[in-house]
Chains A and B, each alone.
Chain A
């Protein structure tokens, strides 16, 4: 089965509202990265996390290695937040395990 499960798979948000994306891991992840794939197809680094939380502007992310999950919170969603969000877990070796992504559409 999938080692990284992302939810929801798709989401529509009204501009200015908040939401949370989640990744659950069935592997012993030591670090997590979150990426945004924008409509042009570029994969943009959002966060690199060891267990704990990080915040950057309207985005906040948390990683709990004991409970095997990570979350990405989007506050005051803007049109430019639209795209597909991916999480990737690393176990300390070369392989990264990607979720299938959450497709986010922000509606004016």
Chain B
């Protein structure tokens, strides 16, 4: 089972401040993802990565940047946090198993922007 670790698990940030959510995976998966989960919207893809040095926009990238400095680490950066970014953020790693990709989620990071 893939091990995906997120930090911090809980964060309160002020509007306009910078927030970095970190994710580390130990199973050597090429693919990593950042999702946010909100009531009524389910899980929505923010950014993803195919490997070290790559970042790709997901469905809702506005207001977010991503960084993949190594195979193991994938960060989500909110340069200017806004209250609308209050949410639970999930990182996932993934591997192509031939017929399709699979996801393994971290425990989630709860962000409140005040």
Contact = CB atoms under 8 A, between A and B. Distances in A.
A94 B47 CA distance: 11
A35 B42 contact: no
Contacts of A95: 45, 58-59
Q: Is the interface of A mostly helix, strand, loop or mixed?
A: loop
Q: Is the interface of B mostly helix, strand, loop or mixed?
A: strand
A103 to B, nearest CB: 11
Given A33-B103, A50-B99, A92-B101, 14 more contacts: A31-B99, A41-B107, A42-B108, A43-B105, A43-B108, A45-B1, A45-B105, A48-B102, A86-B42, A88-B103, A94-B56, A95-B45, A95-B59, A100-B42
Interface of A: 29-31, 33, 35, 41-43, 45, 48, 50, 86, 88, 90-96, 98-101
Contacts, number: 58
Contacts of A29: 100
Interface string B31-45: 100000000001101
Nearest to A91: B100
Number of chain B interface residues as a range: 20 to 34
B105 A35 contact: yes
Given A94-B31, A96-B45, A50 B100 contact: yes
A37 B110 CA distance: 15
Contacts of B101: 31, 90, 92-94, 96
A64 B104 CA distance: 23
B67 to A, nearest CB: 18
B88 interface: yes
Contacts of A96: 45, 101, 103
